[in-house]
């Protein structure tokens, strides 16, 4: 297992649209293990492969307090079930230190493959529903800051660029 480097906004590689996984094999399962290790180490509740510069449609999530409810979504597809919206404070391992309210559909259905390549469906609620939508956005090159006003987004961008420059 390995802890992978997480790309940070405004890194342009975060804008890559990920490709579907063709075969769920041992190398994909190794990647998933590394993604969980990276996410738990951060710590975070969700991680998309895009964030570790691997542009395949893979998401891992664990919103439990004890890091014991891992969920894997390969090639996830989301259907919005009704027009109920909900505000939630979102953060992102690729936008460290910033939390902002984002409005998203509350009721969604997710179809995906698990780490054995088996299809499954889930109607997540609460934080899991927020998280899967946030992570699926990553696979499409989208970040939660894209939902904010451009003034807020630019402010976050400048602060992170300053931090990245200091770290060089």
Choose between 75 and 134: whose C-beta lies nearer to Ni ion.
Answer: 134
Site for Ni ion in 88-127 (CB under 5 A): 92
Nearer to Ni ion, 28 or 45 (CB): 45
Listed residue (99, 107, 95, 102) closest to 157, CA to CA: 95
Return the H-helix or E-strand segment holding 88.
strand 85-90
Q: How far is the CB of 146 from Ni ion (least distance, A)?
A: 11
Give the x/- contact pattern for Ni ion in 55-94, rule: CB under 5 A. Answer: -------------------------------------x--
Q: Which is nearer to Ni ion, 49 or 121 (CB)?
A: 49
Counting Cβ atoms within 10 Å, is residue 116 exposed (0-12), middle (13-18) or buried (19+)?
exposed
Q: Which is nearer to Ni ion, 27 or 58 (CB)?
A: 58
Q: Is the alpha carbon torsion for 117, 136, 100, 14 positive or negative?
A: positive
How far is the CA of 72 from the CAs of 11, 22, 95, 97, 108, in angstroms? 25, 16, 22, 25, 17
**Binding residues among 25-54 for Ni ion as defined by CB under 5 A:** none
What's the min distance (Å) between Cβ of 79 and Ni ion? 21
Q: Is 100 a catalytic residue?
A: no
The H-or-E segment that residue 74 falls in is: strand 71-80
Please tell me the count of residues contacting Ni ion according to CB under 5 A.
Answer: 1
Residues identified as active-site: 135
Residues in touch with Ni ion (CB under 5 A): 92
């Amino acid at each position: 297992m390995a802890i992978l480097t997480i790309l940070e906004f405004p890194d342009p590689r975060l804008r890559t649209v990920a490709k579907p996984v063709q075969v769920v094999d041992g190398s994909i399962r190794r990647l998933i293990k590394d993604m969980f290790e990276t996410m738990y180490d951060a710590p975070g509740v969700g991680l998309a492969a895009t964030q570790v510069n691997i542009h395949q449609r893979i998401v891992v999530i664990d919103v439990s307090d004890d890091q014991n409810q891992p969920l894997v979504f390969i090639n996830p597809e989301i259907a919005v079930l009704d027009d109920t919206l909900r505000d939630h404070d979102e953060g992102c391992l690729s936008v460290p230190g910033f939390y902002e309210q984002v409005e998203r559909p509350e009721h969604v259905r997710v179809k995906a493959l698990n780490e054995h390549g088996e299809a499954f469906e889930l109607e997540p609620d609460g934080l899991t529903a927020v998280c899967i939508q946030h992570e699926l956005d990553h696979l499409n090159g989208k970040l939660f800051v894209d939902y904010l006003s451009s003034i807020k987004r630019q402010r976050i961008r400048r602060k992170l660029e300053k931090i990245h420059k200091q770290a060089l």
